[in-house]
Chains A and B, each alone.
Chain A
């Protein structure tokens, strides 16, 4: 075959096609095998189990960590060591990639197989991504394309790689980013730096106190890049923002705005910054960042609608106001609502099973509780929140020590430590129920 460009392309494309097909097959076979392994392991443990049986339902946040580090595994060891004298077996029935619909469909089968005494449910994060419930249904080709495991793997990979993360400014480039406005936490972080970096920080704070703006700014910009101070980015960014706001340096302020939590923004920030049409995209980006870091807050939507009003985009402003109302009204994703209704209609036939609805780390559970009041049969469910324990932990640990990624925006899959926090929290609730 002649070595022409056309022939080379033909060869490359053919090989790429074969490669992709093989890889897709591998994903399917591998997924089937690992699911099979998990189920058979659970069934083996079921045969030898006694005492209380607890099943944990959910998605990859539940499954992640395997036999030793997932939160159900750690839950079992914590309960065993609790000294309550009862025996516990915890089954991890979490399945990566599955939404609440899958759980509702299989609940009956699981109850019949495992005869649980307690069901722990942590689901809902994947529901917004189901095609049927999106506002614009994708065409058939797009749906099939999105279902390919290879495509899913690629999107996960590019989301995880540091290069891509650096481009996703609304997700944060630094994994160990935790929002804290705590002066004590800042001082503690500074105390752990090497001596020359500590000196900069002291000089910076002193310069800020004496309103030596240029010096303070230069030092703060340096500090915000230090690896040891990544957990204090918001604190430093607030100080930078304050100086720039005083100096009326609005372009620079827009650049640092994404790092500043929305509740620290001065009044009329959006009005002032968006008066300059060049700064509008930057402000919108900053507001979007606030939405990902504070998914349960209502104010970012208000800020966004203010932006769009000034930009002269009434339709977008109206949509943002609608979303603000939804955030305020604590509505669940419609798919989650349907699945939960189905779940509880099954559970009314099993009144002796205790149900625990657990919220994802760092998320507000009051919305869930509010919603549950409208679902028949959900009155006896117990709610467990994972907010206080994680916020406390994040003042002592870097983000990456608790979470492996940012798949949930402000949280993600847990490290063994992160999963342990969930397990400890849950263990307390379970022991209280059984008493």
Chain B
């Protein structure tokens, strides 16, 4: 079920009405059933995978906590890792590895032909496997106690607002909220509604309209004019941000209505001045997961600059691969790894700079703009269907840059679509408060909501369309 569709509206109305009248234990059971219905709506066969992951990690978690032998604990952790990463590997990367291996062998003049397996990518598998892994790893490190309640653990894994593309929650954050009774307050409900409304606006107006600019240019017969490509890159940067931020906001809003707090996933990422700051603002749940469970165990930055560079590259490569089974994603990860490494080796002074010694605002703005353009090059790799196309577009960007009337109009269209978003986000940035809109006087809020509603109805796209991050 997509969030911006009528079946989901009906679904959530029923779920929420039940939620308000049931006691805590029954709330959890109802939410679990609802989450499985939500997930099974795409394809009931996917449920088997999530159940396997849930069961394995539940048992492993209990086993690790109960045993005292290090070898046994490590063994159970390995079981959990292999199961989850194995599920991910088979269902997401099998064909990718086979194809790459086949191409390698062909390059060595060894012809191979094995069947291309018809594997459907289960929705959200990258998210919930990481979420359950965080549970087992945290238990292994002694950071938390396991839960003996299977139903509640299953709900932690399958919680429907964030199951499909939502913030990758940590067990320490979400599990206690599930295990303990929650309070549903009017203020929480209103705040949840605000978040959902803002998310829907981002998705149905900004992201949907930007897609209409981006898709024609990235199509095989798309424009080769450099200015068009540049506009499409700018548009895609904001399209993917809005798409993903919308999903996260709606997820957070739904959870807030239920009295559950999910972590913030985006904090004005394009306000970042350098790669390090970018990854503290973009897809925070994934980047912090990779930092805590991959980068730091590898050694982090403790073993000198070269090992740090290695660790950064490995982490970003795997982060890129996480997004999808294609070399363009790996290249995207590699590119970000290089940016991070370069920044660390060249500009990093060891700790965050003092506010007093920070460069002047103008210099910061220039740095910001430069870095923004570096990031949109990375989005080129992310969006392109193939390396060949990426190369084509880059050459078009550099060699075929023409200021035609139509290209300028396209750029202006892009600007107009993003204008409401930019205004709100600059406001959020200046006040350093993501919820600034929801704290205004009710007349201001009503006016802004009226404008947002008009934009969605009059210009936006009302049909349910997929969120980009669903394929992950």
CB pair A160–B457 under 8 Å, yes or no, is no
Residue of A nearest to B459 (CB): A30
- Which of B6, B442, B453 lies in contact with A23, CB distance below 8 A? B453
A92 to nearest B CB, angstroms? 16
- Which of A15, A27, A162 lies in contact with B6, CB distance below 8 A? A162
B87 to nearest A CB, angstroms? 27
| Residues of B with C-beta under 8 A to A163 | 6
CB pair A19–B6 under 8 Å, yes or no, is no
Residue of A nearest to B406 (CB): A67
CB pair A15–B454 under 8 Å, yes or no, is no
CB pair B450–A22 under 8 Å, yes or no, is yes
B67 within 8 A of A: no
CB pair B458–A27 under 8 Å, yes or no, is yes
Q: In the complex, A22→B454 CA distance in Å?
A: 9
Which DSSP category, helix, strand, loop or mixed, fits chain A's interface? helix
A246 within 8 A of B: no
CB pair A153–B449 under 8 Å, yes or no, is no
CB pair A18–B451 under 8 Å, yes or no, is no
Given contacts A160-B462, A161-B6, A162-B6, contact A19 B446 (CB under 8 A): yes
CB pair A15–B442 under 8 Å, yes or no, is yes
A272 within 8 A of B: no
B443 within 8 A of A: yes
CB pair B450–A19 under 8 Å, yes or no, is yes
CB pair B457–A157 under 8 Å, yes or no, is yes
| Residues of A with C-beta under 8 A to B457 | 153, 157
Q: Which of A145-162 contact B (CB under 8 A)?
A: 153, 157, 160-162
A176 to nearest B CB, angstroms? 14
CB pair B454–A19 under 8 Å, yes or no, is no
| Residues of A with C-beta under 8 A to B446 | 15, 18-19, 22
B112 within 8 A of A: no
A26 within 8 A of B: yes
Q: Beta-carbon contacts of A155-195 to B below 8 Å, as 1s and 0s?
A: 00100111100000000000000000000000000000000
Q: Beta-carbon contacts of B431-472 to A below 8 Å, as 1s and 0s?
A: 000000000001100110111011001110010000000000
Of the four ranges (under 10, 10 to 19, 20 to 34, 35 or more), the interface on chain A belongs to: 10 to 19
| Residues of A with C-beta under 8 A to B454 | 23, 26-27, 30
CB pair A23–B450 under 8 Å, yes or no, is yes
| Residues of B with C-beta under 8 A to A22 | 446-447, 450-451
CB pair A26–B450 under 8 Å, yes or no, is yes
| Residues of A with C-beta under 8 A to B462 | 157, 160
How many residues on chain B are close to A (CB under 8 Å)? 14
| Residues of A with C-beta under 8 A to B451 | 22, 26
| Residues of B with C-beta under 8 A to A161 | 6
Residue of B nearest to A157 (CB): B457
Residue of A nearest to B9 (CB): A163
Q: In the complex, A26→B446 CA distance in Å?
A: 13
Q: Which of B404-453 contact A (CB under 8 A)?
A: 442-443, 446-447, 449-451, 453
| Residues of B with C-beta under 8 A to A19 | 446, 449-450, 453
- Which of A15, A18, A30, A162 lies in contact with B458, CB distance below 8 A? A30
Q: In the complex, A18→B446 CA distance in Å?
A: 7
| Residues of A with C-beta under 8 A to B6 | 161-163
| Residues of A with C-beta under 8 A to B459 | 30
B243 to nearest A CB, angstroms? 23
Residue picked from B6, B454, B459, most chain A C-beta under 10 Å:
B454
| Residues of B with C-beta under 8 A to A18 | 443, 446-447, 450
Q: Beta-carbon contacts of A1-36 to B below 8 Å, as 1s and 0s?
A: 000000000000001001100110111001000000
B388 to nearest A CB, angstroms? 27
Q: In the complex, A25→B442 CA distance in Å?
A: 18
| Residues of B with C-beta under 8 A to A25 | 450
| Residues of A with C-beta under 8 A to B453 | 19, 23, 26
Q: In the complex, A26→B458 CA distance in Å?
A: 10
Residue of A nearest to B453 (CB): A23
Q: In the complex, A153→B446 CA distance in Å?
A: 19
| Residues of A with C-beta under 8 A to B458 | 26-27, 30, 153
Q: Beta-carbon contacts of B1-15 to A below 8 Å, as 1s and 0s?
A: 000001000000000
| Residues of B with C-beta under 8 A to A26 | 450-451, 453-454, 458
Residue picked from B442, B446, B449, B453, most chain A C-beta under 10 Å:
B446
Residue of A nearest to B447 (CB): A22
Q: Which of B211-258 contact A (CB under 8 A)?
A: none
Q: In the complex, A22→B443 CA distance in Å?
A: 10
Q: In the complex, A157→B449 CA distance in Å?
A: 18
Q: In the complex, A163→B453 CA distance in Å?
A: 20
B271 to nearest A CB, angstroms? 29
Q: In the complex, A190→B302 CA distance in Å?
A: 65
| Residues of B with C-beta under 8 A to A160 | 462
Residue of B nearest to A25 (CB): B450
B12 to nearest A CB, angstroms? 14
Q: In the complex, A163→B6 CA distance in Å?
A: 7
Q: In the complex, A22→B459 CA distance in Å?
A: 17
Q: In the complex, A286→B449 CA distance in Å?
A: 42
Residue of B nearest to A34 (CB): B458
| Residues of A with C-beta under 8 A to B447 | 18, 22
- Give 9 CB contacts A-B under 8 Å: A15-B446, A23-B450, A27-B454, A30-B454, A153-B457, A157-B462, A160-B462, A161-B6, A162-B6
B residues with a Cβ closer than 8 A to A are 6, 442-443, 446-447, 449-451, 453-454, 457-459, 462
What are the 8 A-B residue pairs with the smallest beta carbon separation, nearest first?
A22-B450, A26-B454, A23-B450, A18-B446, A19-B446, A163-B6, A22-B447, A19-B450
9 additional A-B pairs beyond A22-B450, A160-B462, beta carbons within 8 Å, are A22-B447, A23-B450, A26-B454, A26-B458, A30-B454, A153-B457, A153-B458, A157-B457, A163-B6
